Structure 1
Amino acid sequence: MARLLNRIVTRMVVLAAATTIITMLLGMVAYIAAVHYRLSVTTHHMPPKAREQLELLVRTHQEGSDRYFDLFDRYGAKAPALTDLGFVATIALVSILVGGGVAMVFARRISRPITAVANAAARVSAGDRSVRVERGSTSGETGELIESFNRMAADIDAYERERTVLTAGIAHELRTPLTILKGRLHGLADGVIDPATGEADRLLRQVEHLSHLVEDLRTLAHADAGELDLDRRPVDLAVLLGLAVGDLRGSASERSVTIVESYETAMAHGDPVRLMQVMTNILTNAIKHAPDRSRIDVAVFSASGHAIVSVTDEGDGFAIDDEARMFMPFWRAGSDRLAGRPGSGVGLTLAAKITEAHGGRIMAKNRVDRSGACFSVWLPL
């Protein structure tokens, strides 16, 4: 019932009814006041004897008698006639103006939040993406409109920030290999660098790095557009995670990082190549942040209708403020930049996008028993 009363249509109907009732009441009050005024003017001009007769007729409820009207016709010439068109028009005009004024006040109250949203939308279109509309006590459709607008403005703001980070990240990641390629190719062209010293292999590695980055960007673009091709089939995540651990165990051993495995059979329906990319990326992230001679726990299990892959490290964890940004492309935490950790900044973004394309999600949280972070991939069984 409260929701119905907060609807704009309901409010407009109530407003129209209130305006009509106010206009009618004002007209009736004005008419009754005019009757009393005419009676007062008439009795004021009557001689005492005629006034007594009139008062007697009123007390005995004989207002419709011939004598009553005779007295009014004789002594009420100076009083305004209730049938006069000017008098009736004046009463109608006053009633309409007052009722219309009340209607304008209520209509303004209804339209004010809509006007605020329109003004805020104009500011957003002009480039001010930080503008928001205060909802206050506004409810119903207007309140829903304000909430929708604020969500839209927040999404636009987040998208623009992400686009800025993405553009800067692409420029940064492309600049280094392109600079190396340009300098070494100039050296080869000028004869400063001997091509027989393995220079071709070094140049090829830079080209492969660029190719890998471009492929990651292409995958991100397809995932954002919902056009990521997936060769779906039954996949045992324990087998996939085991393969990813086998591929990365060597890089973990270089820093004496131990990977402890715990697997249960958990079948998901997905693209094994893309899901292998997810496993590799979150494992690479864990190894990158794990201290030397530490431990990484990897596990596969099922719960709540989902197959869950969990990767837990013993690193420093992440700042609470970074939780909402760590899956943004090319975004890197300040601690990573200070420590000089390698990485393009798209690994976790790709993992999140691919997981979402499979109908799942990635969750990140800091450990509560000690320092470190836990990344878990949830996929429908």
Structure 2
Amino acid sequence: MTPTVDRLRETERWIAWVRLAAVPFAIVEVGLLSTDYPRGYEIWAWATTGLLAVAGAGFFLVSRAEVFARAPRWIATLGLAVDMVIVGAFVLIYQYEIGSPVNQLFFVLLVEAAVRYGIRGGLLMPFAIAPLLAIAEWWRESRFDNPPHGYQPDHVVFPWGLLTLTGMIVGWLVDRLRRKTETSEAQVVEAELLRDELGRRADVLEAATRCARALSSSLDLDQAFEAFIRELRGFVPFDRMAIVLEEAGTAQVMAVAGVGAEVVFSRGSRQPVGQTLLAEILRTGQPVYREDMTDTRYAEEREFGELGLLCRIAAPLLRGPRAFGMISLVRREARSFNTQEVELVGLLGRLVASAVQNIRAYEAERSTVEELRRLSALRADFVSLVSHELRAPMASVVGSAQTLRQRWRELTPDQRESFLALIGSETERLAALVGDVLDTSRIDAGTFTYRFGDVDLGALVRDSVAGMSLAQDEVSVVAHVHGELPSVRGDRDRLQQVLTNLLDNAVKFSPAGEEVRVDAYQQDSRVLIEVSDRGPGVPAEQQRVIFEKFGRGHAAGSPGKPGTGLGLFIARSITEAHGGVLEVSSAPDLGATFTLSLPLDSAG
């Protein structure tokens, strides 16, 4: 007998006792307390009392018999229906007594329904009682209304409302008591299970602790994995184990030991994630237990089968809610991992994931420190360079100004004009240097401003090339705008600043007499502008550095001077603010091509 059926049987037995206990009260009421029965009413009262006694005895016997287990819910429903008939009969019979509290018997039905069915019974029973209330009031009004008062709706509505409220309260209390009882019973069962589990879990935790110590024994990932594997053998025997991480869509074996370790999926090997078990782990983030790999489900299981390995458990390595790898243990015998081992492997997966993240975080911090040192050195070089770049033009400006002031009358008009032109060019050089420094600080502070509008890139290219051609005559600068270019959404002045910087670099690093070519064309949903020179090119190891703040290239044989290391950083920042990309392609002694790519839907 299930716990639910047993509970129903106990409820039915208790209600049967209540019926039997009510019989003496009914006898006293019918035989002693009630008088002046209308004709035939006393017979019906005794008949109803007899029905009460029979129902009490009958349902008590049924609750003790095996028949109750066959149809417990039908018996419970029948018992409630019989009680409704008995209570309804008593209510109708005693309507002849003016002011009789007989209608309060309906509360007995309400409580019984709530005890049997909880809040559902407490809410539904008032609706079942409502017709009985209406019939009882009609019966009283039509037969015993003396002096006449007529049909009184409040004799129906008020008791019905009171019954409904009471049913809600009693039903809620019954449901709450049942939930508490079920919770208590579940806690008792759980306590018994926990008692049995304590010893096993102590072993699991001890194993996990020792493995965790092994993982934290070194900040080198390979050494930590080797120590972990040695410790693992003593707790979870295996024929093969592996730790596999997902890197850019490929499965990389970080550690492997056991059967076929040097042949199949060896350490450091990579393969597409594809239809492997790792793909399933990454998708679900849940452990997978392959009890028998005879029926191959994943790509690698065929090779495991050739090695005689049939049983496999794999647990995810989690970074937050997302899996980034797995730990896998394999044995020769099918269905050879027990529940304790499966649980331990799942726990070890979390430990390995934590160790991998910690070691990688350490490596990232170390790389960050090295990068900060490199940037500090670049900054120091930049300060030295800027100091030099400021002193040189300032010296020219000051010297020229002093010469003009002291020897103005001695100098010819051409000499004066030459000194003034030198002052002008050096001042422009200073202004450009200060402008780059200010732009860099604004970019770092996030206050670099843009004014977006529709930009005609064809006209922008032609204007920029024309301006560069007028500014110098040593290098030929030509523009090739292929077709009618669509407008893009951007800041024209900032984009011209990018293009001018690229042209200035191309001219500066091109030998005299060579040509700088600018091509502009549409490719799919982007507009590309390529600035190509025939200078010494940008070495591969410097193609990333030149776009960094303070980064400067040093190409062998370069005719130009190294810059401040800010121009391309500013150009790239402006480009990225437009949703674009600035890249360089180059080969030694074959020049360099800088490509500015802007989306057609670029917006600020």
TM, length-normalised to structure 2: 0.39
Output one character per residue of 1:158-209: Cα deviation in whole Å (capped at 9) or x when no partner: 34423431342233223343356368758978x9972625466645544443
SS at match of 1:165: helix
The structure-2 alpha-carbon separation of the partners of 1:359 and 1:336, relative to structure 1 and needing over 3 Å to count, comes to farther
1:237 aligns with 2:457: yes
Name the CA distance, whole Å, in 2 between partners of 1:145 and 1:372: 44
Structure 1 position 21, deviation (Å):
5.8
SS at match of 1:140: strand
Question: What letter corresponds to residue 464 of structure 2 in structure 1?
Answer: A
SS at match of 2:450: coil
Pairing 1:26-65 to 2, within 5 Å after superposition: none
Unmatched segments (≥5 aa) in structure 1: 1-16, 26-95, 117-134
Tell me whether 300-309 or 355-364 shows the greater mean CA deviation. 300-309
1:106 aligns with 2:282: no
Q: Which residue of structure 1 lines up, in the alignment, with residue 496 of structure 2?
A: 276
Question: What letter corresponds to residue 346 of structure 1 in structure 2?
Answer: L
Pairing 1:161-240 to 2, within 5 Å after superposition: 161-178=374-391, 181=394, 185=398, 194=406, 196=408, 198=416, 202-203=422-423, 205-240=425-460
Structure with higher Rg: it is 2
Q: Does the 8 Å CA contact 1:289/1:315 hold for their aligned counterparts?
A: yes
- Percent of aligned positions that are identical: 23
2:199 pairs with 17, 20, 23, which one? Answer: 23
Structure 1 position 251, deviation (Å):
4.9
Name the CA distance, whole Å, in 1 between partners of 2:477 and 2:558: 25
**Larger relative contact order (CA 8 Å, sep ≥ 6):** 1
2:318 pairs with 136, 140, 162, which one? Answer: 140
The structure-2 alpha-carbon separation of the partners of 1:182 and 1:303, relative to structure 1 and needing over 3 Å to count, comes to closer
Q: Does the 8 Å CA contact 1:327/1:348 hold for their aligned counterparts?
A: yes
Structure 1 position 231, deviation (Å):
0.3
Tell me whether 330-339 or 314-323 shows the greater mean CA deviation. 330-339
Q: Does the 8 Å CA contact 2:506/2:516 hold for their aligned counterparts?
A: yes
1:263 aligns with 2:482: yes
Q: Does the 8 Å CA contact 2:581/2:598 hold for their aligned counterparts?
A: yes
Structure 1 position 282, deviation (Å):
0.7
SS at match of 1:302: strand
Structure 1 position 106, deviation (Å):
2.9
Q: Does the 8 Å CA contact 1:290/1:314 hold for their aligned counterparts?
A: yes
Name the CA distance, whole Å, in 2 between partners of 1:238 and 1:359: 19
The structure-2 alpha-carbon separation of the partners of 1:371 and 1:332, relative to structure 1 and needing over 3 Å to count, comes to same
Structure 1 position 313, deviation (Å):
1.9
Question: What letter corresponds to residue 140 of structure 1 in structure 2?
Answer: L
SS at match of 1:108: helix
Q: Does the 8 Å CA contact 2:465/2:479 hold for their aligned counterparts?
A: no
Root-mean-square deviation (CA), in Å? Answer: 4.0
TM, length-normalised to structure 1: 0.59
Q: Does the 8 Å CA contact 1:188/1:195 hold for their aligned counterparts?
A: no
Question: What letter corresponds to residue 168 of structure 1 in structure 2?
Answer: D
Tell me whether 194-203 or 162-171 shows the greater mean CA deviation. 194-203
Question: What letter corresponds to residue 372 of structure 1 in structure 2?
Answer: G
Name the CA distance, whole Å, in 1 between partners of 2:570 and 2:496: 12
Name the CA distance, whole Å, in 2 between partners of 1:136 and 1:239: 55
Q: Which residue of structure 1 lines up, in the alignment, with residue 578 of structure 2?
A: 358
Pairing 1:45-124 to 2, within 5 Å after superposition: 101-109=206-214
Question: What letter corresponds to residue 161 of structure 1 in structure 2?
Answer: R
Q: Does the 8 Å CA contact 1:267/1:307 hold for their aligned counterparts?
A: no
Name the CA distance, whole Å, in 2 between partners of 1:293 and 1:179: 28
Output one character per residue of 1:14-37: Cα deviation in whole Å (capped at 9) or x when no partner: xxx9xx869349xxxxxxxxxxxx
Q: Which residue of structure 2 lines up, in the alignment, with residue 292 of structure 1?
A: 512
Q: Which residue of structure 2 lines up, in the alignment, with residue 348 of structure 1?
A: 568
Unmatched segments (≥5 aa) in structure 2: 1-192, 222-252, 256-315, 320-353
Output one character per residue of 1:280-311: Cα deviation in whole Å (capped at 9) or x when no partner: 11111122222333333211122242221111
Q: Which residue of structure 1 lines up, in the alignment, with residue 526 of structure 2?
A: 306
Q: Does the 8 Å CA contact 1:260/1:295 hold for their aligned counterparts?
A: no
SS at match of 2:596: strand
Output one character per residue of 1:91-117: Cα deviation in whole Å (capped at 9) or x when no partner: xxxxx6x6664342133246557999x
Q: Does the 8 Å CA contact 2:572/2:581 hold for their aligned counterparts?
A: yes
Question: What letter corresponds to residue 596 of structure 2 in structure 1?
Answer: V
The structure-2 alpha-carbon separation of the partners of 1:101 and 1:329, relative to structure 1 and needing over 3 Å to count, comes to closer
The structure-2 alpha-carbon separation of the partners of 1:335 and 1:286, relative to structure 1 and needing over 3 Å to count, comes to same
Q: Which residue of structure 1 lines up, in the alignment, with residue 546 of structure 2?
A: 326
The structure-2 alpha-carbon separation of the partners of 1:348 and 1:147, relative to structure 1 and needing over 3 Å to count, comes to same
Name the CA distance, whole Å, in 2 between partners of 1:188 and 1:294: 36
2:466 pairs with 243, 246, 252, which one? Answer: 246
